[in-house]
Amino acid sequence: MCWSKYFDFARETGVDSKWFKEQVITIHRRCLSTEQCDNIFSDKMLTNCDKKLPKMHIRDDGKIEEEKEALHADFANKFIGGGVLTGGNVQEEILFTVNPECLITMLLSPMVFYFIFILLNPKKKKIYIYIYTYIYMNETIVILGTRQYFDYTGYGSRFQYNGLHQYQLRESESKDKDSGESATDTNNGDEKVDVLRFCQKKPNRLATGIVCFDALEFPGDKQIQPKFLLRELVKAYVAFQCDEVLLADERFGRVIATGNWGCGMFGGNKQIKSLLQWIAATLAAKEIAYFTFAKFEKDKQLSKLSEVVNAMVQKEITVGQLWQALCNTNVRERFTYGSKSLFSLLNERLKLNISSL
């Protein structure tokens, strides 16, 4: 339904219109060199990091894409787009469905080439497997300038199209066909209206951004081990560290809108992932708007997130102190074999004095 509506929009607006001819979308593959990784993420550097953890903006309601002027997280599959073309309806697939221009990324990601080669040469898999390229732990993809065309309700099997996403054009734009404004199929049930903002230094590119970063798949108990903590920390940092030159606009991108990265089908621990993303954002000089999706959270892992964050901020806990606590052998063993949550163990280790834990 969404994609047929997109083509309706293109037909009504006109593929020769100013909107489609001049709109710029940037797909940027970010990579941190081995030297940079060693400099930033050596055990010594992390342990001695004295950056204080800033306040985290915790959102128990709403959707990631509703955070204004923020970079929105895509909890990516290492195959960018995941199952968006084969019926998948979880976070990344929904994001690519309501932002159809994100689908271009699937053609540019090297992961897709493996399947093309297998399809064309089904009997020669061993020859082409060496061309198959992973998105390594020090790589992420940033998509800039796409537009959310549709609203939706539900998640997974309950996902439903809910009308065109409504925009108010910037004052200097005229509301005609060339501007990309469609007057049909509006969603009258929701009066929320976004403003189409364009980049200050790239006036033909919308001031929107999506950071795509893949999590460990089915990490189980090993996710608390230092090498796996480091893998996730590096991945999140590379995704979050988008500078003003790349964004071409100083007004947006200071906040990362994210949530339970890799904690659905991939089975990640929400407490671990929330803290690692907090550290990554601090190192990248960004703020975090963390969407807990509390009303859908059956295990209540993040019910104490606000208390833990506030206690750490009040106590002026640094990146180094939190990293040392996460990597502590006693914490790791008690988390793996005991019954206490990570938040409870950190409450003891960092002396946060949270009575409810």
Residues annotated within a binding site for substrate: 77, 91, 155
Binding residues: 77, 91, 155
Active site residue 12: no
CB 111 within 8 A of CB 78: yes
Active site residue 74: yes
User: Kindly report the CA angle at 142 between 138 and 143, in degrees rounded to 5?
Assistant: 160
Q: What Rg do the C-alpha atoms of the chain give, in angstroms? A: 21
Give me the catalytic one of 65, 67, 92, 232. Answer: 92
Produce one character per residue of 258-286: b if its CB has 16 or more CB atoms within 10 Å, e if not: bbbbbbbebebbbbbbbbbbbbbbbbbeb
Torsion, CA 26, CA 29, CA 35, CA 41, rounded to 10: 100
Q: What span, in angstroms and rounded, lies between the C-alpha atoms of 115 and 127?
A: 13
**Residue 202: partners with Cβ closer than 8 Å, 6 or more residues away:** 24, 26, 145, 248, 249
Give me the catalytic one of 8, 16, 65, 74. Answer: 74
DSSP summary character for residue 188: T
Active site residue 299: no
80: closest CA among 99, 107, 57? Answer: 107
Give me the catalytic one of 65, 93, 101, 139. Answer: 93
Structure tokens at 255: 């906040």
**Residue 260: partners with Cβ closer than 8 Å, 6 or more residues away:** 75, 268, 270, 273, 274, 291, 292, 293, 302
Helices (H), 138-263: 226-240, 244-247
Catalytic residue set: 74, 92-93
